[in-house]
Amino acid sequence: MTQNPCRSFPTIDRCASIGRDKDTVIADLDGTLLRGRSSFPYFALVAFEVGGILRLLFLLLATPLAGFLYYFVSESAGIQVLIFATFSGMKVSDIESVAQAVLPKFYSTDLHPESWRVFSSCGKRCVLTANPRIMVEAFLKDYLGADMVLGTEVATYKGRATGFVLPPGVLVGKNKADALKKAFTDTGMPEIGLGDRQTDFPFMTLCKESYVVPAKPEVEAVGRDKLPKPIVFHDGRLVAKLSPLMALITILWIPMGFLLSCLRIASGALLPMPLVYSAFWALGVRVYVKGTPPPPPKKSTGQSGVLFICSHRTLLDPIFLSTALGRPICAVTYSVSRLSEIISPIKTVRLTRDRATDAAMIKKLLEEGDLVICPEGTTCREPFLLRFSALFAELTDHIVPVAMANRMSMFHGTTARGWKGMDPFYFFMNPSPAYEVTFLNKLPHELTVTAGKTSHEVANYIQRVIAASLSYECTSFTRKDKYRALAGNDGIVVNKPKVEANKIMGC
């Protein structure tokens, strides 16, 4: 009787991770490096972010067929159905964009601690997966330090994916073993092989040591602080991964959610500002106000307006600030869509990005009343603050820092790659979105430019104060860094330089 190979493989917890800096490790992805064994959530992300709700629906309808083939025909056949339903007809550049800007955030939250312990300890790291290489390579190389990624190759035609796979087909079973032999013909087989299921055993038997990662749903993912590279920027509309059930709920919710968002936006735009706070609460939008806001300026005494300096989470920050104050506040904007300007319930003024012109404009607006600026220049979803532009500190001493935080359960209200005009709609499409507005103490006179501080010192101080209030981390990243990382451009040139993690600094 032939010995069952599964019984000959010890579990991953028995693999030593000390002194492995000269060893090579080859690991499977789903169920091994990642805790989750299903790749559906990641296919669903690609389907929605590239193809929208109809593509997600197509993938969902194809999933029962994929499941039937997976369990009753072959793993390869089931995966081929998912690949076809997701990728057929998509632009290769769009798939690569999602793989670079969207998927890493979700992959990083599902990293298996034991597999990562072994994988990260080895000098050469390789991944062998049935997933399409185009979908996983960016995350594995950029964030996990993988030296080689062997995955299923998707066929393309004139810059678009056909949905079919290139020979030798989906990398499962014998195909994985053949791919491993081909890749390591000249250097010898890897020292360590990691897998989690029977179709991984053929390639695992070729390695000098092999370990099985048992399925344990209760295992906690690797913490954010233990990742080799922090994910500061990410894009995409979906907040959470989609199981088939959540995909169905999302598809059913979107039409109703859009109507609800229109109603919420209309209430904010048409009602007097003192009533917006109550209207938002009645419509399921939660607004929490902390701290004591300053009173409105008295024009009769010639008092100039207060400059509110906010952390930037979505383009709705000035509107929720106005809601918290109970009066409309003029907002200086960097780059918003024309639609957002039209539906805005408050006055918005665009910066020209010419320093002298913008300074004169801000001074004039402050003479007319209160003003709000988000000096980061762009939004950040993670608990980080981008570098504050220092121009505002030169224009007034009446500065009130405001810490803005929000909560979204289904959709992100920001985008770097999509149409910004939909940002407010997506935010209000969440079942119960929330904003927390915290008014901090007014900047003391001794910390102003008038008292001898430089504008950069003032800007950095306010950044640290707001970050401390939110328990966020200060960075020196800028708007250009974000758009280069997510969209491949900074509005001037088109390139894709990598944003280095060493720009993060302590507060």
The answer to whether the peptide bond before residue 113 is cis (omega within 30 degrees of 0) is no
Residues 266 and 216 in one domain: no
In a domain? residue 481:
yes
Single residue among 220, 255, 272 that ends a domain in this structure: 220
In whole angstroms, what is the distance from residue 41 CA to residue 240 CA? 9
The pLDDT value recorded for residue 1 is: 36
Q: Where in the sequence is the domain holding 295, given as residue range(s)? A: 244-503
Q: Does residue 230 fall inside a structural domain?
A: no
Q: Where on the phi/psi map is residue 31: left (φ > 0), alpha (ψ -120 to 50), or beta?
A: left
Q: What is the DSSP letter of 123?
A: S
Shared domain check, 162 and 101:
yes
Q: In this structure, are 472 and 354 located in the same domain?
A: yes
Do residues 97 and 12 both lie within one domain?
A: yes
Q: Summarize pLDDT for 30-60 with one digit per residue, the tens.
A: 999 999 999 999 999 999 999 999 999 999 9
Q: Which 8-state DSSP code applies to residue 413? A: S
Which CATH number do you get for residue 109?
3.40.50.1000
Same domain, 30 and 124: yes
Is residue 227 in a domain? no
The domain tally of the chain equals 2
* 168 lies in the same domain as 263: no
Q: What tens digit of pLDDT does each residue of 165-223 get?
A: 999 999 999 999 999 999 998 888 999 999 999 999 999 999 999 999 998 878 999 98
Residue 236 lies in a domain: no
Residues 205 and 276 in one domain: no
**Residue count of the chain:** 507
Task: Give kind and range of the element (H or E) at residue 322.
Answer: helix 317-325
| Domain contains 226 | no
For residue 324, what pLDDT is reported? 96
Ranges in the chain, pLDDT < 50: 1-6, 491-502, 505-507
**What integer pLDDT is reported at residue 232 of this predicted model?**
93
Is the same domain home to 211 and 255?
no
Domain check: are 297 and 407 in the same one?
yes
Return the C-alpha torsion angle 311, 315, 316, 319, nearest 10.
Answer: 80
* 153 and 269, same domain (yes or no): no
Q: Please report whether residue 347 resides in a domain.
A: yes
- Residue 449: predicted pLDDT: 94
Q: How far is 481 from 386, CA to CA, in rounded Å?
A: 10
Is the same domain home to 208 and 319? no
Who's near 185: CB < 8 A, 6+ residues apart? none
- Whether residue 114 is contained in a domain is answered as yes
My answer on whether 191 and 261 are in the same domain is no
